[in-house]
Amino acid sequence: MKNNTIQRVVLFGAFAIMGIIGIQAYLLKNTWNVKKKEFHEKVIIALQNVAKEFEKLGSPLPAYDLINQVSSNYYVVNVNDVINANTLHYFLRKELEEVGLTEDFEYGIHDCETKKMVYGNYISYSAKIDSSVIEKNQLPIYDKYTYYFGVRFPNRSSQILSSMRLTLIFSIILFITILFFIYSIFVILHQKRLSEMQKDFINNMTHEFKTPISTINISADVFLNNPQIREDKRLLQYANIIEEQNQRLNKQVEKVLQLAKIERDNFKLNLEKLNLHQLIHRILESTKLKVEKLGGHLDCALEASNAIVSADKLHLTNILHNLLDNAMKYCEEVPYISVRTEDAGNKIRLCIEDEGIGIPKEHQGKIFDKFFRVPTGNVHNVKGFGLGLYYIKNICEVHRWKVSVDSEWGKGTKISILIG
């Protein structure tokens, strides 16, 4: 993954995380306020109904200032008359249940003679009573009323949170998702550092190879041009082997260096107008000899009406050599290769087809990946690094060409490049 891509992912991810956290915090706060208001309104309705019940029993009610919220969970009700504890107990439980509040509560009655709150009872709807929330004789005095009772809901906050259970579950899931995303970003950055270290190592190694490769090439030329060596068939054969393998190694090193340039975004094409058909003919002259030497057949049908393309000659030549080499290498017995060009609108379609071993369907989506080779167990009859098709794909992308594969296991492979 490129540096600018990772930077964009991290930047957008940070903005997304901050936005999601902000929105979720707002939603949680808003939900809390709504549930708190809903709880308060239910309590007010229930206590008003209790007061009306006492009014029916003959207790006069004030014209205003009937109910006062002393604290977040404590309410006092002005009745203006002596209050019977048993009646209050009944009315409170009945009216609170009718508005849907089945939460634990405690109540007390103000004693005018002693000027104290007389603790009434703790009403619990749960199987177990938490003694820590029962504060007997601790209901505060409200000196603005004479005859009144107080009701406290010790579990008010937990009840509101319980009503927000679904919202809280989704918030926790979202929080875990955000943590996973942040962890993924750190993993990506770590993998990027490892990938850069690997690339630096490969680039340094390939650059170091250039000097001994050049030295071996010069030495091989000296051997091949020496009359004594040329007279000795065995030494000449060894000298040819040295030169051939040195050239093969040099091509692999150049390929790795070119791919490194592409991946670092400092790769530049040397575009020029080329006659694709002429270039193919020149390459096929040498390839045809190799194919016929193996007992195979090379068919050429260049049918495109306009063969002029804008391309980098060196890399287009490398693409053709790579495709033809693969067609020769991956054959069962003898190679049968077909090279065709045809018109595709205002573009040219280049097709190189063989009748080789083919590629299984499950691996066709990976053949353009770096270092990928079709699994053959522990046996690799065809040597290579898995860079050929990766190189072809990258060069085509830089040229803005499209490359595709059509293959069937045991019947051959066709590689198509849409040029234009």
* Residue carrying the six token digits 């709807």: 125
284 and 408 housed in the same domain: yes
- How far is 12 from 250, CA to CA, in rounded Å? 43
The verdict on 33 and 158 lying in the same domain is: yes
The predicted pLDDT at position 377 comes to 47
Mean pLDDT of 97-118: 83
Higher-pLDDT residue of 46 and 332 is: 46
The pLDDT tens digits for 154-166 are 888 888 888 888 8
Q: pLDDT grade, residue 134 (50/70/90)?
A: very low
Beta bridge partners of 149: 77, 109
- Measured from the Cβ of residue 172, the count of other Cβ atoms closer than 10 Å reads 10
Of 263, 285, 314, the last residue of a domain is: 263
Q: How confident is the model at residue 75 (pLDDT cuts 50, 70, 90)?
A: very high
238: burial class by Cβ within 10 Å (0-12, 13-18, 19+)?
A: middle
Query: Which H/E stretch holds residue 211?
Result: helix 165-225
Mean pLDDT, the chain, as a whole number? 82
In the prediction, which pLDDT does 3 show? 64
Over the stretch 1-44, which tens digit does the pLDDT of each residue have? Answer: 556 777 777 788 888 888 888 888 888 889 889 989 999 999 99
Q: Which residue has the tokens 């706060």?
A: 29
Task: Indicate whether 384 pLDDT > 50.
Answer: yes
Number of structural domains, the chain?
A: 3
Which pLDDT score, from 0 to 100, does residue 186 have? Answer: 85
Distance between CA 59 and CA 57 in Å, rounded?
6
**CB 298, CB 337: distance < 8 Å:** yes
Q: Which domain holds residue 398?
A: 271-419
Which among 378, 410, 374 is positioned nearest to 389, based on CA atoms? Answer: 374
pLDDT at 407 over 80: yes
CA-based R_g, the chain, Å: 43
The Cα 286–Cα 249 span in angstroms is 20
Assess whether 104 and 216 both reside in one domain.
no
Tell me, yes or no, whether 9 and 119 share the same domain.
Answer: yes
- For residue 164, the Cα-to-chain-centroid distance in whole angstroms is 31
> In terms of domains, do 84 and 127 share one?
yes
Distance CA 25, CA 31 (A): 10
**Residues 135, 240 within the same domain:** no
Shared domain for 281 and 373, answered yes or no, is yes
pTM score of the predicted model: 0.50
297 and 221 in a single domain? The answer is no
Average pLDDT (85-108) is 88
CATH number at residue 287: 3.30.565.10
pLDDT of residue 266: 60
Domain boundary residue among 263, 288, 323? 263
Side chain identity, residue 347: K
What's the longest Cα–Cα distance across the chain?
136
Q: Do residue 134 and residue 179 come from a single domain?
A: no
Of 263, 297, 321, the one marking the end of a domain is 263
> 12 and 57, same structural domain?
yes
Residues 352 and 403 in one domain: yes
Do 83 and 139 lie in one domain? The reply is yes
3-state helix vs strand vs coil in the chain, percent to 5:
55, 20, 25
